[in-house]
Structure 1
Amino acid sequence: MSSTVAVVTGASRGLGEALAARLLADGARVITVSRTRSAHLAEIAARNGALLQQIDADLSEPASIESAAGLVSAALPGNATRYLLINNAGTIDPVALSEALSDASAIQKAFNLNVAAAMVLSAAFLRTTAADADRRILNISSGAGRKPTAGWPVYCATKAALDHYTRVVATENPQLRVAALAPGVIDTAMQARIRSSDRQQFPDLERFVQLHERGQLANADTVAQKILNHVTSDAFGRELLDDIRNYD
């Protein structure tokens, strides 16, 4: 992947960090956008002689999204063989039944992070890279966007919005390879947050507790490798709303 330039959001931990780490190990030039920087990624980049640029940004804030988009545009070189944008940053919060959703600011932050950031960064990516280049956008979605889950009205709505946005981008850009991909249930900090939910506000809590206790959560590094194998293949983009578990 020495001629690949990849932008990965939410890369300071979890799946995003695992994706960025794999890309760096393969020799890709990687630009990350996260609230905090990853010392782990910096070590991998140094060890592999790979180029890494870490952009600090809180993608739940509109001004920070716009600033990050400008920095990403400036960082993208004009001579790569492949350009890859992975919109991975996201939040499960607020977790609450619909009748308890009274904090408009919390809801707005979730839509900013889960949807608006992907849209603005994708726009910058599309404007900056050539239309005839090998351009690929991967939006990390969720089964929650395709199946209603009590207690996740905000999360479900944001992922459904991301799915449909992906369809629009594909319609507008026939030469672009793009997909919204559900990564499955992974052992990350987000899963820990889910297990800490109020049972009264998240009726499905026990299922996630059991998945963890039975060791049924997928490993982030393993899933990252499967995702990158898929996103760099000729099959990527044939299914706009996809699931990595279809490729096990």
Structure 2
Amino acid sequence: MSSTQCTDLGRALCIITGASRGFGRTIAREMSGLVKPGSALVLTARSGDDLRSLEAELAESEAGRAGLVVECVVADLGQMEGLGSVVRASKEAFSEDIDHVILVNNAASLGDVSRDAKSFTDMAEVDSYLSLNVSSSLCLTASILQAFPQLPGLRRSVINITSLCALQPFRSWVLYCTGKAAREMMFRVLAEEEPDLRVLSYSPGPLDTDMQKVARSRTADPSIRKSFSDMFAQGQLLTCEASCAKLMKLLLEDSYTSGAHVDVYDL
């Protein structure tokens, strides 16, 4: 843990899930500008077209022109085959010069927010949600840690993109709140078990994204729906860029307590 802010993230292998749009896409852009030459980005999402457009954008960037390697993996992380393809691509992108492995668990779905908890009687529906939002996050993290074990001179960081919903109940958001709470505890346990690992749960705040659009249009609970609509109408939503800048500052300063939940409004 350093006491002064670094100016870069090292010669890094950055693995970013849900990288095709929204906050994940912004993380990919920002990280690409903070890694040293010889770094690699492994970007995964379900949307191939969006991933390919991001890959082209990064290739044209200063980092791309300096030789940043970008690997795109079109995958459903809710399936074992998808996880396997991300791990394989990460191993292939790794070189002996890499001194920092960074995994960003960003991929998530909102779930059906148009219903109350008592409507979820279909176990297959709930299992499907938890597979993508909880199980895949644990299994991918475990697989990456096994693929890149602790070695002298190799830093390893795991970032969990979390939410206020991990800490507070939101009516009609039972799936999302449950998934975020489970993930947060998962990474707190990981931080306890792996003292050499840097673990952070970062809550980016209410972002102006497609997910927020769904939240304010489909949320069943009228008071929750109104609060999101009011934030949008009053210009209180954060841009992905503004929130991501604070995440990058956190990672560069590297002074957070491993396993901590840090909210954008705490910074």
Instruction: State the TM-score, normalized to the length of structure 1.
Output: 0.91
1:190 aligns with 2:211: yes
- Across the aligned residues of Structure 1 and Structure 2, the Cα RMSD in angstroms comes to 1.9
List structure 1 segments (4+ residues) > 6 angstroms apart after TM superposition.
none
Q: Unaligned regions of 5+ residues in structure 1, if any?
A: none
8 Å contact from structure 1 (residues 144, 156) kept in 2:
yes
Of structures 1 and 2, the one scoring higher in RCO (CA 8 A, sep 6+) is 2
Counterpart-to-counterpart distance in 1, 2:69 and 2:257 = 27
8 Å contact from structure 1 (residues 29, 51) kept in 2:
yes
Counterpart-to-counterpart distance in 1, 2:233 and 2:265 = 21
What is the aligned counterpart of 1:112 among 131, 138, 159?
131
Instruction: State the TM-score, normalized to the length of structure 2.
Output: 0.85
Please list the CA deviations of residues 195-239 of structure 1 after superposition, one character each: whole Å capped at 9, or x if unmatched.
12153x564100000000111000001211211121232213445
Query: Counterpart in 2 of 1:131?
Result: 150
1:33 aligns with 2:44: yes
Q: 1:86 to 1:198 in 2, by over 3 A?
A: closer
Counterpart-to-counterpart distance in 2, 1:130 and 1:61 = 24
> Pairwise mapping of residues 83-232 of structure 1 onto structure 2 (< 5 A)?
83-95=101-113, 96-132=115-151, 133-199=154-220, 201=221, 203-232=223-252
Counterpart-to-counterpart distance in 2, 1:114 and 1:5 = 23
Q: How far apart are residue 164 of structure 1 and its match?
A: 0.6
Q: How far apart are residue 38 of structure 1 and its match?
A: 4.0
> Pairwise mapping of residues 47-58 of structure 1 onto structure 2 (< 5 A)?
47-48=61-62, 49=65, 50-58=68-76
SS in structure 2 at match of 1:138: strand
8 Å contact from structure 2 (residues 40, 94) kept in 1:
no
Counterpart-to-counterpart distance in 1, 2:141 and 2:176 = 20
Task: Return the letter of the residue paired with 1:39.
Answer: S
Q: 1:35 to 1:156 in 2, by over 3 A?
A: same
Percent identity between matched residues is 26
Query: Counterpart in 1 of 2:86?
Result: 68
- Count of residues paired in the alignment: 246
Query: Counterpart in 1 of 2:26?
Result: 18
Counterpart-to-counterpart distance in 1, 2:34 and 2:172 = 39
